[in-house]
Structure 1
Amino acid sequence: MYYELRTYTIKPTKLGDWLALYKSAALAVQQEYLGNLVGFFTTEFGEANQVVHIWGYASLDDRIARRSAMAADPRWQAFASQNKELDAVVTLESRLLRPTDFSPLN
């Protein structure tokens, strides 16, 4: 099992708008294609205005196949266009993680 941890830094005045757009236009599409949403968070302490979400995949090939299928969906493309228009994302960081043999997520 692999976990993708994605961290978005959002412009301070646009965090609420970005979350509303994501919830209305992207969440259902991602759940349909990516399947295993482990968690979705905003930061309370540390670097401000960050959104962090974690998705689980059976393998690296599984991740590639799921994300490729999602990218071809017109609903996802519409979200990508709206996201670009909103101009809220400052940075995106993506990490692929493998749990240790003693992790509860293993």
Structure 2
Amino acid sequence: MIIEKRTYTLHPGKTQEFLALYEAEGLALHTKHLNMLGYFISDIGPLNQVITMWGYKDMAEREELRARLYAEPEWIAFGPKTTGFIQKMESMIMKPTGFSPIR
């Protein structure tokens, strides 16, 4: 298993508006194709961040599932609605250790 951690740094004061838009229009599309492990907001440390975690069997499955998502006309239409909220986006692929509870 691999886990993709995505961190979106939003413009100050825009987190709740971003989350409301995502929940109303993006969540069902995302989870139709991808396995969500968690969706978080920062509380201490760097603020104005949304952190998502997605699970995949391997990189090939990640590419396949994301290709399906990106082929959805509704997802293509949704994406531009979020760009004005985002200052920076980071993506990290994590592999669990042999003793990790998530494998």
Please indicate the TM-score interval, normalised by the length of the shorter structure: over 0.9
Q: Which amino acid aligns with 2:4?
A: E
Q: Unaligned regions of 5+ residues in structure 2, if any?
A: none
Q: Unaligned regions of 5+ residues in structure 1, if any?
A: none
Q: Aligned Cα RMSD in Å? A: 0.8
For residues 62 and 50 of structure 2, the distance between their equivalents in structure 1, rounded to whole angstroms, comes to: 20
Contact 2:5-2:92 at 8 Å conserved across structures: yes
1:13-52: CA deviation from partner (whole Å, max 9, x where unpaired): 2111111111111111110011x21111000100000000
For residues 94 and 61 of structure 2, the distance between their equivalents in structure 1, rounded to whole angstroms, comes to: 14
Aligned partner of 2:55 in structure 1 is 56
For 1:78, what is the secondary structure of its paired residue?
helix
For residues 91 and 70 of structure 1, the distance between their equivalents in structure 2, rounded to whole angstroms, comes to: 21
TM-score normalised according to structure 2 size? 0.96
Aligned partner of 2:33 in structure 1 is 33
For residues 100 and 31 of structure 2, the distance between their equivalents in structure 1, rounded to whole angstroms, comes to: 24
TM-score normalised according to structure 1 size? 0.94
Q: Segments of 4+ in structure 1 off by > 4 A?
A: none
Contact 2:42-2:48 at 8 Å conserved across structures: yes
Aligned partner of 2:82 in structure 1 is 83
For residues 89 and 99 of structure 1, the distance between their equivalents in structure 2, rounded to whole angstroms, comes to: 29
For 2:97, what is the secondary structure of its paired residue?
coil
**Pick aligned residue for 2:96 from 82, 99, 103:** 99
1:30-86: CA deviation from partner (whole Å, max 9, x where unpaired): 10011x2111100010000000010000010000010011001011011112123xx
Q: Which amino acid aligns with 1:3?
A: I
Q: Which amino acid aligns with 1:8?
A: Y
How many residues align structurally? 103
Aligned partner of 1:45 in structure 2 is 44
